Chain A
Amino acid sequence: AQSVAQPEDQVNVAEGNPLTVKCTYSVSGNPYLFWYVQYPNRGLQFLLKYITGDNLVKGSYGFEAEFNKSQTSFHLKKPSALVSDSALYFCAVDNYGQNFVFGPGTRLSVLP
């Protein structure tokens, strides 16, 4: 079965510093991978996806993610964090084209 792990429940970073939110996956075949962000009392918003091609994917709000097939990872990154980036972040994998499997989420806190 497809699965997604986000090894960190919480990530704290100072404003202006680079941030990384980690994601590893277990899938058979070539994965479709996604990142979503959830602000308080809101639904999830799409950030970016990897389907095929360039391993570095750029998305919304200055975020990017690097697909690493050998390490089965899809880490979310941003060169310079903003306080407004504080939110809950979910990694997800497409489950054989039927639905998504989500990771447990990582809470990002950007400190001023």
Chain B
Amino acid sequence: NAGVTQTPKFQVLKTGQSMTLQCAQDMNHNSMYWYRQDPGMGLRLIYYSASEGTTDKGEVPNGYNVSRLNKREFSLRLESAAPSQTSVYFCASSEQSGDGYTFGSGTRLTVV
């Protein structure tokens, strides 16, 4: 089925460990996004990529890095995980402004 695929679905990390969250879309969308969801705070933008080869910081970029590997893939890396990064992470894509986003099913990350 067409859509946005995120891996892994669940992850537990120890403080200081690193990991990469993977995201891939097969809809040939230009733009891709990483959000984190925390209770009572809605979704906050971490990074986005308006097109292949470009990335920009969002509202809460500290502690994260991203790579737009190609048009399909947009990964999010935590270099040294902290408990404050415990959250649910969503990847999304869109074709252009005015279009809705298509979301992945999320990655639930716990940092202990």
Contact = CB atoms under 8 A, between A and B. Distances in A.
| B-side interface size class | 20 to 34
A49 B101 CA distance: 11
Interface residues of A, number: 23
B74 interface: no
B104 interface: yes
B58 interface: yes
Contact of B42 (A45, A94, A102): A102
B106 A43 contact: yes
A43 B104 contact: yes
Contacts of B96: 97
B41 interface: yes
Contacts of B60: none
B48 A49 contact: no
A100 B101 contact: yes
A43 B42 contact: no
Interface in B40-60: 40-45, 48, 50, 56, 58
A52 B66 CA distance: 34
Contact of A9 (B40, B98, B105): B40
Given A51-B98, A94-B98, A104 B105 contact: no
Given A43-B105, A98-B48, A99-B48, A105 B100 contact: no
Contacts of A44: 43, 90, 92, 101, 103
A60 to B, nearest CB: 11
List the 8 closest A-B pairs by CB distance, nearest first: A97-B97, A43-B103, A46-B100, A104-B42, A102-B43, A102-B42, A44-B103, A43-B105
Given A43-B103, A44-B92, 17 more contacts: A32-B97, A43-B4, A44-B90, A44-B103, A45-B103, A46-B100, A90-B43, A97-B96, A97-B98, A98-B48, A98-B56, A99-B58, A100-B101, A102-B35, A102-B43, A102-B44, A104-B42
